[in-house]
């Protein structure tokens, strides 16, 4: 075997396309067979010259065999974490959230992290641990979240959201991709490094329990622990790639303003025959108001909404358009016969670099069995706005609040209640950390990752920059088709193990670049 080259059970040898496609591919990951995991993973080749000293090369060469030997345990440990319903939005799960934090602490300790601690906050605990191998070496701060979104609607799951199953190479469970499966790759990557060639630089790991509800207490914790969290870069796996054969790295996240609105008409429900047509119906009024929030070009009509938006240059838009995207497949996957959005922008742009406004939920009046002729007293909606760089969450929330109250038709009162928010973030593509991530992925995927802008939000990323002065690398291994926040959330076994194989290579390249 040539130096710097690793031979593995490669699907290519069986005449299959290696780790291909955006949807489930037989060659992705492994199938469960009589309780054991059958290897069908990817092969990889990396040039010996990429890593400097021989000891680094042999450390890197030891990664994949270690992952291979331990993959069944790595998977089973993740399944154990997925069995804990650590839903942060619902106080009913408080005890499970606490239990999950303890489990994360135990796993981090077993992996070889030190000073592992469950840090209590005014909300859900944060689990922190570190391994300082040499204070003169660079430090990577890994962030992730062990909390998950509520699993409802339960009836749409094919198996229990907290009874993880592996089917066709996919791990089905709430939190499998967002974010337990992804943060746990880092715990296993640390174990892998410590059990093979050692850690090439220092690592600090902070896994929180309130990401899905706005990270309020993490923000406070970060401000109070600046010294402890000192690092050179933040590394987060909580985003998606284009496809398993089209690796990519997110270089931006959108911000968020989230509000709840309450529209009140008469002080009690009324008979819709006796009063209907004579007084404002708050549900009719709310629908009118919501409909007016977009114009014919699907632009948001809130005055000032676009004022601070940083437009991309033609060159930046051109670079983004180079990422492969098939609109037909996109529509087919979603079972829609058309796409729709802001005039003048492509689908990918609408879902990443443009600000948006969406109703997330709307309710009021009678929704029980049969018909009840009623003119309701109240109507409600939850509305989210995704923001882009230079839009400030607080300012946009205020603009919305003023506008929404102003457009109320006669005869209703409107209250706007702000929820959590967060700022957008962009990450550099020329930093040593980005280049290390890019090289690491190129080695394990056999292709250089494409930089893309993501549409989701991780509000703490902007705060890491503001408070700790740290840039982030969004080292996500999920796919958009993972159904995060939806029924049947899934994460590829291939993606999980590939992450564990790729992260240690990031550590080696990053420490070599410093
Ligand atoms: N992991 C997601 C964010 C994400 C998903 C970013 C996919 C890029 C691609 C995160 O857990 C999340 O869901 N964030 C929330 C924001 C939070 C304040 C509730 C979101 O984006 O809705
Ligand atoms: Mn997440
Ligand atoms: Mn999420």
Instruction: Convert the pLDDT of each residue in 176-210 to its tens digit.
Output: 999 999 999 999 999 999 999 899 999 999 999 99
- From the centroid of its chain, how far is CA 480? 10
Q: 414: CA distance to ligand 2 center in Å?
A: 33
pTM of the model: 0.88
Q: 92: CA distance to ligand 3 center in Å?
A: 19
Q: 127: CA distance to ligand 2 center in Å?
A: 16
What confidence tens digit (pLDDT) does each residue in 342-373 have?
999 999 999 999 999 999 999 999 999 999 99
Q: Which of 457, 460, 489 to mutate to test the pocket of ligand 1 (most atoms within 8 A of CB)?
A: 457
**Of 18 and 433, the one with more pLDDT:** 433
The residue-averaged pLDDT of 436-460 equals: 97
Quickly state the pLDDT bin for 25 (edges 50, 70, 90).
very low
The residue-averaged pLDDT of 19-30 equals: 33
Exposure string over 88-113, b if 16+ CB within 10 A, otherwise e: beeeebeebbbebbebbbebbeebbb
Specify the ligand 1 atom closest to the Cα of 145: 11
Is 13's pLDDT higher than 90?
no
Q: 27: CA distance to ligand 2 center in Å?
A: 26
Give the span between the Cα atoms of 152 and 162, in whole angstroms.
12
Mean pLDDT of the chain: 91
Quickly state the pLDDT bin for 43 (edges 50, 70, 90).
very low
Q: 328: CA distance to ligand 1 center in Å?
A: 25
**416 strand-pairing partners:** 261
The residue-averaged pLDDT of 485-494 equals: 98
**Helix orientation angle between 54-82 and 180-195, rounded to the nearest 10 degrees:** 140
Q: Considering only CA atoms, which residue is closest to atom 20 of ligand 1?
A: 457
Q: 252: CA distance to ligand 1 center in Å?
A: 12
> Counting beta carbons within 10 angstroms of the beta carbon of residue 358, is it exposed (0 to 12), middle (13 to 18) or buried (19 or more)?
exposed
Report whether 394 contacts 402 (CB < 8 A). Answer: no
Supply the DSSP symbol for 87: B
Q: Which of 211, 213, 462 to mutate to test the pocket of ligand 1 (most atoms within 8 A of CB)?
A: 211
Is 278's pLDDT higher than 60?
yes
Question: What does the angle CA 10 – CA 14 – CA 16 come to, to the nearest 5 degrees?
Answer: 85
Give the span between the Cα atoms of 503 and 63, in whole angstroms.
10
Is 53's pLDDT higher than 90?
no
Supply the DSSP symbol for 25: -
Quickly state the pLDDT bin for 509 (edges 50, 70, 90).
very high
pLDDT of res. 177:
98
Q: Are strands 478-479 and 240-241 parallel, antiparallel or unpaired?
A: parallel
Q: Considering only CA atoms, which residue is closest to atom 16 of ligand 1?
A: 457
Give the span between the Cα atoms of 252 and 264, in whole angstroms.
39
Is 29's pLDDT higher than 70?
no
Strands (E), 146-192: 165-167, 170-172
- Candidates 452, 287, 440, 444; CA nearest to 359 is 287
Give the span between the Cα atoms of 269 and 365, in whole angstroms.
8
**Of 6 and 384, the one with more pLDDT:** 384
Report whether 182 contacts 118 (CB < 8 A). Answer: no
pLDDT of res. 51:
60
Quickly state the pLDDT bin for 57 (edges 50, 70, 90).
confident
Closest ligand to residue 180's CA: 2
Q: 183: CA distance to ligand 2 center in Å?
A: 9
- Candidates 410, 378, 415; CA nearest to 264 is 378
Specify the ligand 1 atom closest to the Cα of 457: 21
User: Range with the lowest mean pLDDT among 30-34, 181-185, 461-465?
Assistant: 30-34
pLDDT of res. 21:
32
Q: Are strands 425-426 and 252-253 parallel, antiparallel or unpaired?
A: antiparallel
Report whether 350 contacts 356 (CB < 8 A). Answer: yes
What confidence tens digit (pLDDT) does each residue in 129-172 have?
999 999 999 999 999 999 999 999 999 999 999 999 999 999 99
Q: 104: CA distance to ligand 3 center in Å?
A: 18
Find out whether the peptide bond into 326 is cis, omega within 30 degrees of 0: no
Give the span between the Cα atoms of 79 and 75, in whole angstroms.
6
Percent of the chain past pLDDT 90, that is, above it, reads 87
pLDDT of res. 420:
85
pLDDT of res. 514:
84
Q: 456: CA distance to ligand 3 center in Å?
A: 8
pLDDT of res. 55:
72
Specify the ligand 1 atom closest to the Cα of 421: 18
> Which residues lie below 8 Å from residue 76, measured CB to CB, with a gap of 6+?
none
Q: Residues enclosing ligand 1, CB less than 6 A? A: 178-179, 211-212, 214, 238-240, 253, 256, 420, 422, 454, 456-459
Is 37's pLDDT higher than 60?
no
pLDDT of res. 135:
96
Percent of the chain past pLDDT 70, that is, above it, reads 89
Give the span between the Cα atoms of 352 and 354, in whole angstroms.
6
Specify the ligand 1 atom closest to the Cα of 422: 18
**203 strand-pairing partners:** 131, 140
Q: Which of 456, 473, 481, 491 to mutate to test the pocket of ligand 1 (most atoms within 8 A of CB)?
A: 456
What confidence tens digit (pLDDT) does each residue in 97-133 have?
999 999 999 999 999 999 999 999 999 999 999 999 9
Q: Which of 458, 474, 475, 491 to mutate to test the pocket of ligand 1 (most atoms within 8 A of CB)?
A: 458
Q: Considering only CA atoms, which residue is closest to atom 6 of ligand 1?
A: 456
pLDDT of res. 50:
54
Place of tokens 């740290």: 470
């Amino acid at each position: 075997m040539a130096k710097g080259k690793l031979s593995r059970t490669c699907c290519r040898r069986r005449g299959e396309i290696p780790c291909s496609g955006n949807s489930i591919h037989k060659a992705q990951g492994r199938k469960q067979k009589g309780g054991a995991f059958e290897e069908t993973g990817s092969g990889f080749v990396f040039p010996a010259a990429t890593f400097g000293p021989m000891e680094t090369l042999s450390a890197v060469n030891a990664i994949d065999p270690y992952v291979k030997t331990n993959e069944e345990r790595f998977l089973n440990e993740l399944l154990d974490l997925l069995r804990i319903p650590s839903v942060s939005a619902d106080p009913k799960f408080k005890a499970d959230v606490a239990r999950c934090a303890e489990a994360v602490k135990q796993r981090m300790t077993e992996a070889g992290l030190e000073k592992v601690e469950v840090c209590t906050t005014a909300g859900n605990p944060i689990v922190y641990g570190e391994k300082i191998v040499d204070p003169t070496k660079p430090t990577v701060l890994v962030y992730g979240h062990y909390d998950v979104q509520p699993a409802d609607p339960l009836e749409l799951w094919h198996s229990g959201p907290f009874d993880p199953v592996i089917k066709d190479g996919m791990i089905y469970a709430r939190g499998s991709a967002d974010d337990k499966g992804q943060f746990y790759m880092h715990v296993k990557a640390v174990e892998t490094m410590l059990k093979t060639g050692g850690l090439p630089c220092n690592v600090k790991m902070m896994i929180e329990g309130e990401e899905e509800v706005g990270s309020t207490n993490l923000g406070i914790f970060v401000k109070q622990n600046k010294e402890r969290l000192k690092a050179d870069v933040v590394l987060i796996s909580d985003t998606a790639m284009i496809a398993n054969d089209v690796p990519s790295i997110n270089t931006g996240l959108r911000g968020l303003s989230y509000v709840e609105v309450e529209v009140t008409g008469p002080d009690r429900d009324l008979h819709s025959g006796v009063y209907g047509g004579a007084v404002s119906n708050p549900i009719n009024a709310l629908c009118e108001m919501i409909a007016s929030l977009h114009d014919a070009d699907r632009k948001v009509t809130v005055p000032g909404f676009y004022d601070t938006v940083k437009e991309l240059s033609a060159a930046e838009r051109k670079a983004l358009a180079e990422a492969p995207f098939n609109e037909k497949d996109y529509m087919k996957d979603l079972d829609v016969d058309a796409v729709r959005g802001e005039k003048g922008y492509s689908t990918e742009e609408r879902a990443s670099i443009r600000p948006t406004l969406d109703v997330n939920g709307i309710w009021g009046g009678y929704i029980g069995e049969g018909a009840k002729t009623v003119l309701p007293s109240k109507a409600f909606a939850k509305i989210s706005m995704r923001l882009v760089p230079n839009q400030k969450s607080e300012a946009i929330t205020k603009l919305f609040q003023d506008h929404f109250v102003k457009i109320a038709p006669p005869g209703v009162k409107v209250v706007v209640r702000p929820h959590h928010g967060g700022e957008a973030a962009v990450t550099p593509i020329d930093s040593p950390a980005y280049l290390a991530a890019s090289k690491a992925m190129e080695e394990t995927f056999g292709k250089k990752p494409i930089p893309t802008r993501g549409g989701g939000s991780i509000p703490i990323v902007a705060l890491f920059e503001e408070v700790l002065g740290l840039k982030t690398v969004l080292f996500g291994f999920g796919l958009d088709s993972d159904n995060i926040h939806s029924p049947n959330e899934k994460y590829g076994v291939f993606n999980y193990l590939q992450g564990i194989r790729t992260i240690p290579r990031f550590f080696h390249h990053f420490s070599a670049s410093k």
